[in-house]
Amino acid sequence: MLTLPSATEWIAASARHAGLATPSPSMTVDPDSVTPGFVGFVAIALIAVVVVFLIIDMLRRIRRAGYRADVNGQLDAEAQAAAEAEAQGESAERATDVDDQDIDPRGGAGR
């Protein structure tokens, strides 16, 4: 079977035919000079502290919104109950008005 070489194999073969040497990776930078050091540590620590305070504040606000929703629900239920009680009271007053007109105060059977 005929297999096609991959791109890296083709480039390496071309470089060998051209007489070019393939470079080998070597460390040219001092590893201690590219570390974040103390300044990087302080920056990351500061970001971590800010994130913790933001999470605490977010949880407090979410909890407060939940309490407000509960209180608003209770107030709505109380207002609805008061409206229903008022509506029942008005119908009861109308019923008593009608009943009062039908009663004969002298004890007669209605004349």
In the chain, where the domains are located: 38-65
Query: Which range in 6-10, 28-32, 55-59 is most confidently predicted, on average pLDDT?
Result: 55-59
Amino acid (1-letter code) at residue 16: R
Q: What is the pLDDT of residue 18?
A: 66
Residue 15: partners with Cβ closer than 8 Å, 6 or more residues away:
21, 22
The answer to whether 30 and 23 are in contact (CB under 8 A) is no
> Is pLDDT of 40 > 60?
yes
Across the range 38-48, mean pLDDT stands at 95
pLDDT category of residue 74 using cuts at 50, 70 and 90: very high
> Is pLDDT of 49 > 90?
yes
